[in-house]
Amino acid sequence: MEINILLAEDDFSLGFVIVDQLKLDGYRVTLATDGSDALKRFNEKQFHLCIFDVMMPKKDGFTLASDIRKINSEIPILFLTAKTMTEDKVQGFKSGGDDYLTKPFSVEELQLRIKALLRRVNIKVDKPEDKIISIGHYVFDTENLSLTIQNSKKSLTKKEAQILKLLYKFNGQVLPREVILNAVWGQNDYFVGRSLDVFITKLRKYLKDDDRIVLSNIHGVGFKLEIIK
Q: Looking at the structure, do residues 162 and 87 belong to the same domain, yes or no?
A: no
User: Could you tell me which of 2, 12, 9, 7 has the C-alpha nearest to residue 30?
Assistant: 7
Q: Looking at the structure, do residues 105 and 175 belong to the same domain, yes or no?
A: no
Q: Which domain holds residue 102?
A: 4-120
Assign residue 204 the CATH number of its domain: 1.10.10.10
Q: Is the pLDDT of residue 218 over 50?
A: yes
pLDDT digits 0-9 by tens, 79-89: 988 776 667 77
CB contact at 8 A, 38 and 10: no
**Domain end point (choices 120, 136, 167):** 120
Q: Looking at the structure, do residues 116 and 162 belong to the same domain, yes or no?
A: no
- By mean pLDDT, which of 25-39, 56-70, 112-126 is the weakest? 112-126
Q: Looking at the structure, do residues 26 and 106 belong to the same domain, yes or no?
A: yes
Q: Is the pLDDT of residue 204 over 60?
A: yes
Secondary structure E strands in the chain: 4-8, 28-32, 49-53, 77-81, 99-102, 132-135, 138-141, 146-149, 152-155, 174-176, 213-218, 222-227
Q: Looking at the structure, do residues 105 and 202 belong to the same domain, yes or no?
A: no
- Establish if 162 belongs to a structural domain: yes
> Rounded mean pLDDT of 208-228?
92
Count the neighbouring beta carbons within 10 Å of the beta carbon of residue 140.
23
